[in-house]
Amino acid sequence: MQKGKIFENGYIASEEFPEYIEHFLYFPRSSDAEMAAEQLRARGWSTKVDLGADDRDWLVLATQPARGDEDLEDVFPEMEDLAAKFNGFYDGYERPADSPDDFIQ
């Protein structure tokens, strides 16, 4: 990844954080989603709150700045706890592919 690279989600790579990790959290009420998003923004993450694909639950799409060598073993339970705190659930994360060869065809 290159410094200054702009990803398809709008994330702009920096020298310190050349890539990102996207986390998916779902909540039954928009107010719960907004409170969870606020806590994630306090961590320095960017968030987007929108109605989920099921047209029922609210999605918090949280973008975590990343170095590329993060161990997500601790992050997963933190996200599960945050979601549970606001009556929601954590549905995992995605990382960008390093090169077109990394994509599953």
State the residue for tokens 């700045």: 65
Query: What is the b/e burial string over 39-54, where b = at least 16 CB atoms within 10 angstroms of the residue's CB?
Result: ebeeeebbbebeebee
Q: Given this model, what pLDDT does residue 103 score?
A: 46
Q: What is the pTM of this model?
A: 0.80
Q: Given this model, what pLDDT does residue 47 score?
A: 96
Q: Given this model, what pLDDT does residue 102 score?
A: 47
Query: 19-96 belongs to which homologous superfamily?
Result: RraB-like (3.30.70.970)
Please report, in tens digits, the pLDDT of each residue of the chain (105 residues total): 455 676 666 676 677 777 788 999 999 999 999 999 999 999 999 999 999 999 999 999 999 988 777 778 889 999 999 999 999 999 999 877 655 554 454
